[in-house]
A and B are shown apart, each in its own frame.
Chain A
Amino acid sequence: MTAPVIEVDDVWVRLRGRTILEAVSLAIHSGEFYAIIGPNGGGKTTLLRVILGLLAPCRGEVRIGGSTDPAMRKDLGYVPQFRSFDFDYPITVREMVLSGRLGRIARRPRRYGAEDRARTEEALDTMGIADLADRQIRNLSGGEQQRAIIARALVGDPKALLLDEPTVYVDAPTETQFYEILDGLRDRMAIILVTHDIGVLPGHVTRVACLNRRLYTHDTDEITPDMIEAAYRCPVDLIAHGVPHRVLPEHSREE
């Protein structure tokens, strides 16, 4: 059997005396659409940062393609939480997408070649923003900016695409469109999506896990009430976020 694209093995993270992640293990194979849900503050972004090698766990390890070499991160595409960087930066959409190729360039100093430019046009086309390529990113709508960020992640030919709350600033019709695009990418790469909003999970998800310090998994595409309960109910203060109140009855009714 081939190694999973991403393997998280017994990862613990403690920050400022608080345990953020506790004994988290998961394996993501190619072709999977893995959704991780959980309340705000449940460690979702932290888990992504550990996978991306931006944060070292205090215990456990992350393997990408079976290896712990940080150079393997070239196989990861990352769509950070919206507004996590400066949209006023003087950069055009094409330049930003092109910059996603830097991880693939072996020569030093890095120079873009014909292949890099061709892949950039391809990614712009895939995301339907080719006509916006010469605009500065601050002159795009929220949905267009989000697509530009995904194009940057796609252009590096990732084996796994990690998305952090990708729909927070996107309106509902754009959101539907957005999940259709993701579904179209699934035959090329594994997709890992984290979100606090269970209501938005698209039908194409192949696996769901709940994260609230610990990871509660169930090897199906269903969210079971006990997973939700385990993830959202345990720490009392997190119930105050309101998400379980809205979601749990909804899912109970479905069943």
Chain B
Amino acid sequence: MLDVLGFEFFRNALIAGVLASIACGIIGTYVVVRRMVSVSGGISHAAFGGIGLGYFLGIDPLLGAAGFTVAAALGVGTLQLRARQQMDTLIGAVWAAGMAIGILFVYLTPGFAPDLFSYLFGNILLVPRGDILLMGILTAVIVAVVAVLYRELQAVTFDPDYAAVMNLPVERLSLLLLVLIALTVVMLIRVVGIILVIALLTLPAAISRLYTARVWTMMLLAVVLGIIFTVAGIALSYVIDVPSGATIVLVSTLAYAGALGAERLREGRGSESAAAASVRR
């Protein structure tokens, strides 16, 4: 199995997995603590519109996806802040409209759309070297922005009203966070695909949340978990010869279920001993 590391495509896959895990662990932490899972789902599905546009214009579909997701993030964010629209309806609309636009553009593009399937379900084993570079740059940008604005982002995601009273630019910081989510989604498309993005974005952070008391420790553990899940998923998919994106997501989901189960057992035992103690008293 180890001799597979000699292949460039496999090394690229591992590098892509690690980079995606770093971005996911950091941004996914905000998504989970701020309860933005459905917003992220909407933004990631809107990306399909960008993929379709990319095909139609003959540019790199990921470039189209980047433009589309950032626009969707800013649009949804502005509407949420200004118009106080019903958020779940809005997300549903963006979600479906993005997919619909993608389908139309792919239909209108003459000829056959190559590897359309890999954008939907991911294929980390086919990540070209140029995309690795792009992912590296995006990860660096995300890490740098969060490192610089860590305190501000914490205040805004914890208690936006109080942040506003302290004269923090709440609106700009909220939109910035949505843009970072959009960029992370674009990175993840290569790894697990549009449909499965939401799992890798949220599951490592959700597990990490069970064991951490601070935002930055939650990010760190989420990054480590993400790396474990992607590497394990890639290895497993290689060994049993099944699609990598789906395997990564299933590995993550199983780990999440296991963590929740362990937590239930621990809490159950805790309350039992508390009950026993009160009986003794």
Contacts and interface: CB of A to CB of B under 8 A. Distances in A.
A109 B218 contact: no
A33 to B, nearest CB: 21
Contacts of A76: 165
Interface in A33-76: 52-54, 70-71, 73-74, 76
A102 B214 contact: no
B33 A103 contact: no
B163 interface: yes
Contact of A90 (B148, B151, B159, B212): B212
Contacts of A52: 161, 164-165
Given A90-B215, A92-B214, A95-B214, A78 B158 contact: no
Interface of B is mostly: helix
B168 interface: yes
B151 A102 contact: yes
Contacts of A103: 165-168
Given A80-B161, A90-B33, A99 B151 contact: yes
A84 to B, nearest CB: 7
Nearest to A158: B165
B161 A110 contact: no
B171 interface: no
B151 A110 contact: yes
B167 A73 contact: yes
A99 B155 contact: yes
B162 interface: yes
B83 interface: no
B213 A90 contact: yes
B154 interface: yes
Given A74-B166, A102-B155, A91 B161 contact: no
A110 B152 contact: yes
B279 to A, nearest CB: 23
B149 interface: yes
Given A102-B155, A109-B149, A110-B152, A74 B167 contact: yes
A91 B162 contact: no
Interface of B: 33, 35, 148-149, 151-152, 154-155, 157-159, 161-168, 209, 212-215, 217-218
The 3 A-B residue pairs whose C-beta atoms are closest, nearest first, are: A103-B166, A136-B213, A85-B159
